[in-house]
A and B are shown apart, each in its own frame.
Chain A
């Protein structure tokens, strides 16, 4: 059971990474980050079956932080859109050297 769960979470995490790397839209990237977080959550839960309840407790913390992050992140994206009329990250490169 553990192996399947870990495999599944690894696939999810990889999908998230690839999404972050390949997509241009800030919202999609943001969703991919959430996907990675949830892949981690799945790992925690899976290990909790074997090693005790601490992993499940950690999942609650992660979800709380993710919610806060979603609030702040979406607010930043909205501010960005208002400023630049786009959320395409390729066009937002003012920090280049």
Chain B
């Protein structure tokens, strides 16, 4: 089998092209991690633990940005300090982004090699070594480059590169600067392992690795307890999902006997449509996706993850890591196309998440929290897409979302940077992320203002920006599949699939309406209306340096024209139709056909125009509604704000889901752990009975033995005589 693979590689059209440098794409960020990690450790060694400039410092001092987190409580003397830049900041500023630039260059070269190779049916697999040979199970450490992983690699390295460059400006004055870049490089490495791995176990390595880096970067400013707690929350909630992924792999092995993508795709034919095994595998896989991609019921970690630095929120918690679940479903499309019940579950969860998160986003005041709930909501959209068998549409939305959401997060980073710099000058301790403290920033941050409006229009679904095309593609696909597909004819606990799909379509439209409202609200409160920052702060508000605005401009262009990646057939006048759909066809085309029932889901043009018109009308209505109803002028700064009442208050408190989880799961778990597991099992059984019990038994035996040593000569003589008599008696009476 190994020999066959090797020969397949040798004859593959991508062999001996730029794609043969595939291995270097993830290895370069790993190299960056090693270099930056060593710099961080060396600096800590030189400085000693008490030096605030030490790698582990991360406290007040510099951090212009620890405000990002939750920090209105910096000590007063901060302002007396000059900013201490890290001693190796210069090397890190070069190494950190450079490895990403090189990776991106290789990825682009591989992309052109792939385009040059024409239609490529079999994936290009580079096999490095046999990783887990156990009995029937044989897993190779191999990377797989096909159309899907190519798209993901370009997004990860491309958007990642821009965010690395942005971070150079945003994080430069942080005491943990090399540590930050070490984690960020490591994240990109694991993300590339995730998307390039040729088998589920290797993908799982990347899956766990990005979880680790997410934890490390959320808790980057770990001296603030809230940040460390947010990191732990993300890690623990993700464990639940990872458990699902693991179970799915075990079941896949027991029913199919293989775990690499090529083998699974070849073997799924053995499984019956809608069978129990394939449904269970897909549902457990989706549990993993729900954890990683923040879907109901495991979405609660993502808003808290905003405790990390803002570029981290852009890279990990918007553009790449959280979309890993969408990638997993698209990658497993052959399995999902056989499990309509699982597909409908994905659609239901995605639709509910899209609408619930959007409603919460309506009432958040923290600029990053708005974007976090928006991300959860948009991920819900992607799952509506991939769940309903529109894999290309889901991945398309993943790509455009990576563009505009990274832009929104980096833009918010630029705003927070300016806010915090102004607060830093005047010694103000207000929350630099609360929109009630902003207002009127368009005069001070014109570039950020313009670019964020592009992203806002893109996410709201206004043509011709990127989000319009991808969102419309998903909604149109769901509508078409509700009419006729294997999903529509299946039932989900007695409910006809077509109802669920129509309902999801309605939910999607409602979520689109709310998306337009909350994004417009964010823009209004941040950039429009009167400036609420305060008299003295106002003159210190400045646009960020070019190293930060440059990536914003690139992302702005991508958000504006990203829709051309996959034009709908109606708009064929604008360029080639469905480029991404055709590109992904070798990977997901078969599964898509299986869901749509063999014939392409072409709708009548009139219906399609109606759907598009409706979606655009709803988006415009949302923006107009928000513009008309919300009055930034009447807003008061956060410290003077009165708590809201009624349903608004429920939304502001995120439906009290965190509180409910705390009461229903966290507290009982902690209680059981404390009383039963700790006091009972650990202290009582292990420590008490087993450890101390053994010691007590030995002591008892010793005490008994010591009682023979009475010191009474008479007693000894008695024992001696009795012993002699016993021996003699034994001999004589024998």
Q: Is the CB of A89 within 8 A of B713?
A: yes
Distance to closest chain B CB from A94 (angstroms): 6
Q: When the two chains form their complex, are residues B717 and A96 in contact, meaning their CB atoms are under 8 A apart? A: no
- Chain B residues with CB under 8 Å of A24's CB are 714
A81–B712 alpha-carbon span in the complex (Å): 17
Q: Is B705 within 8 A of A20, CB to CB?
A: no
Q: Are A97 and B712 interface neighbours, CB within 8 A?
A: no
Question: Which of A22, A89, A97 interacts with B706 by CB under 8 Å?
Answer: A97
Chain A residues near B711: list those with CB within 8 A: 92-97
| Least distance between B713 CB and chain A CB atoms (Å) | 5
A90-B718 contact in complex given A97-B705, A97-B707, C-beta closer than 8 Å:
no
Given known A-B contacts A89-B712, A90-B712, A93-B712, A21 and B707 have beta carbons under 8 A apart: no
Instruction: Specify which chain B residues have a CB less than 8 angstroms from the CB of A90 in the assembled complex.
Output: 712, 714
Chain B residues with CB under 8 A of A20? 717
**With an 8 A cutoff between CB atoms, is A17 at the interface?**
yes
Which residues of the other chain, A, contact B707 by a CB distance below 8 angstroms?
Answer: 97
Q: Which residues of B contact A95 (CB under 8 A)?
A: 709, 711
Look across to chain A and name the residue whose beta carbon is closest to the beta carbon of B712.
A93
Judging by beta carbons under 8 Å apart, are A96 and B714 in contact?
no
What 1/0 flags go to B693-708 for Cβ under 8 Å of A? 0000000000001111
Q: What 0/1 pattern do residues 670 to 712 of B give for CB contact below 8 A with A?
A: 0000000000000000000000000000000000011111111
Identify A93's interface contact among B705, B710, B721, CB under 8 A: B710
B705, B710, B711, most chain A CB atoms within 10 A: B711
Q: Is the CB of A97 within 8 A of B708?
A: yes
Q: Which residue of B lies closest to A90 (CB)?
A: B712
User: Chain A residues with Cβ under 8 A from B721's Cβ?
Assistant: 17, 21
| Bound-state Cα–Cα, A29 to B579, Å | 116
Q: Assess whether B710 is in contact with A96, with CB atoms less than 8 Å apart.
A: yes
CB-CB under 8 A from B717, the residues of chain A are: 20-21
Instruction: Mark contacts of A54-97 with chain B using CB atoms, 8 A cut-off: 1 yes-contact digit, 0 otherwise.
Output: 00000000000000000000000000000000000110111111
Contacts of A92 in B (CB 8 A): 711, 713
Which B residue's beta carbon lies closest to that of A26? B713
Chain B residue with Cβ nearest A89: B713
Chain A nearest Cβ from B711, distance in angstroms: 3
By the criterion CB–CB under 8 Å, are A97 and B709 in contact? Answer: yes
B713 contacts across to A, CB distance below 8 A: 89, 92
- Nearest A residue to B708 via CB reads A97
Give, as a whole number of angstroms, the nearest-CB distance from A18 to chain B.
10
Interface residues of A in 1-49 (CB under 8 A from B): 17, 20-22, 24
Chain A min CB distance to B732 (Å): 15
Chain B nearest CB, measured from A81 CB (Å): 16
| Closest CB in chain B relative to A47 CB, distance in Å | 19
Closest to B706 in A: A97
Give min CB distance, A38 to chain B, whole Å: 19
CA distance in complex: A22, B706 (Å): 23
* Set of chain A residues within 8 Å of B706, measured between Cβ atoms: 97
**Complex Cα–Cα for A44 and B143 (A):** 100
Contacts A17-B721, A21-B721 given; does A89 touch B714 at CB 8 Å: yes
Give CA–CA (A94, B712) in the complex, Å: 9
Complex CA gap A22/B714 in Å reads 7
Closest to B716 in A: A95
Question: Once the chains bind, are B718 and A21 in contact (CB under 8 Å)?
Answer: yes
Q: Closest CB of chain A to B383's CB: distance in Å?
A: 76
Residues in B with CB closer than 8 Å to A22 are: 714
With A and B bound together, what is the CA distance between A74 and B707 in angstroms?
A: 30
Query: What's the least CB distance linking B210 to chain A, in Å?
Result: 65
Chain B positions within 8 Å of A89 at CB level: 712-714
Closest to B722 in A: A21
A96 to B713, CA, bound (A): 10
Least CB distance from B556 to A in Å reads 89
In the bound assembly, the distance between CA atoms of A60 and B714 in angstroms comes to 30
Question: Inside 8 A of A97's CB, which chain B residues have their CB?
Answer: 705-711
C-alpha spacing A37/B357, complex, angstroms: 105
Report the bound CA distance from A97 to B711 in whole Å: 7
Rounded to whole Å, the gap between the CB of A13 and the closest CB of chain B is 12
CB neighbours (8 Å) of A94 from chain B are 711
B701 to chain A, nearest CB (A): 13
Give the complex CA separation of A65 and B721 in angstroms: 23
Closest Cβ of chain A to B84, distance in Å, is 68
B644-678 contact mask (Cβ, 8 Å, vs A): 1 or 0:
00000000000000000000000000000000000
Chain A residues near B718: list those with CB within 8 A. Answer: 21
CA–CA, A69 and B560, complex, Å: 117
Question: How far does the Cβ of B715 sit from chain A's closest Cβ, in whole Å?
Answer: 9
- The A-contacting residues of B in range 387-419, CB under 8 angstroms, are none
Min CB gap A24→B, angstroms: 8
Min CB distance, A22 to chain B, in Å?
A: 8
Contacts of A93 in B (CB 8 A): 710-712
Closest chain-A Cβ to B502's Cβ sits at a distance in Å of 89
- A96 surroundings in chain B (CB, below 8 A): 709-712
Shortest CB-to-CB span from A63 to chain B, Å, is 24
Report B-chain residues with C-beta under 8 Å of the C-beta of A21.
714, 717-718, 721
Docked Cα-Cα span, A94 to B710, in Å, equals 9
The 9 closest A-B pairs by CB, nearest first: A97-B709, A96-B711, A93-B711, A97-B706, A95-B711, A89-B713, A96-B710, A96-B709, A93-B712
Question: What are 12 sample pairs from A and B whose C-beta atoms fall under 8 A apart?
Answer: A17-B721, A21-B714, A22-B714, A24-B714, A96-B710, A96-B711, A96-B712, A97-B705, A97-B706, A97-B708, A97-B709, A97-B710
Besides A22-B714, A93-B710, 4 other A-B contacts (C-beta < 8 A): A21-B721, A92-B711, A97-B707, A97-B708
B→A interface (CB under 8 Å): 705-714, 717-718, 721
Q: Which residues of A contact B (CB under 8 A)?
A: 17, 20-22, 24, 89-90, 92-97
